[in-house]
Amino acid sequence: QVQLVESGGGLVQPGGSLRLSCAASGTSFSINSMGWYRQGPGKARELVASVTSGGDTNYGDSVKGRSTISLDNANNTVTLQMNSLKPEDTAVYFCKAVIGIRGYNYLYWGQGTQVTVSS
């Protein structure tokens, strides 16, 4: 069994920055990819950013140019740095991981962390 533990988030002023981290823990697993998705009020869940174990990254259009995602393979932790935050970045942010266990891939989601951008 693998667990995802998210940290970061909270209340941020417009123009500010935040850092979200998500650590995967468990036994006998490997990370294929990790990333962050978000769901704003009344909106569908959307990609924020993702990264593979090989370092390939993918960003949602709404955060390109002001976000950086990185994966620490040794500690199974993904970190998302977001800058120049806007009120429309307000959402619940979810960590997502594709985990390899004994030759099979499994999808895991974190419980979500609230990010509110407001003055």
Report pLDDT digits (tens) over 3-13: 999 999 999 99
First to last CA, the chain: 40
Apex 104 CA angle, 100 and 109, nearest 5: 55
pLDDT of residue 1: 85
pLDDT tens string 50-74: 999 999 999 999 999 999 999 999 9
pLDDT tens string 82-116: 999 999 999 999 999 999 999 999 999 999 999 99
pLDDT of residue 81: 98
Q: Which amino acid is at 93?
A: Y
In the predicted structure, residue 119 carries a pLDDT above the cut 90: yes
SS3 88: helix
pLDDT of residue 10: 96
pLDDT of residue 91: 98
Q: How far apart are CA 74 and CA 41, in angstroms?
A: 35
* Residue 21 parent element (H or E): strand 18-26
The sign of the torsion formed by the CA atoms of 52, 57, 62, 67 equals: positive
Q: How far apart are CA 24 and CA 63, in angstroms?
A: 24
State residue 3 phi and psi, 5-degree precision. Answer: -120, 145
pLDDT of residue 70: 98
Share of the chain above pLDDT 70, in %: 100
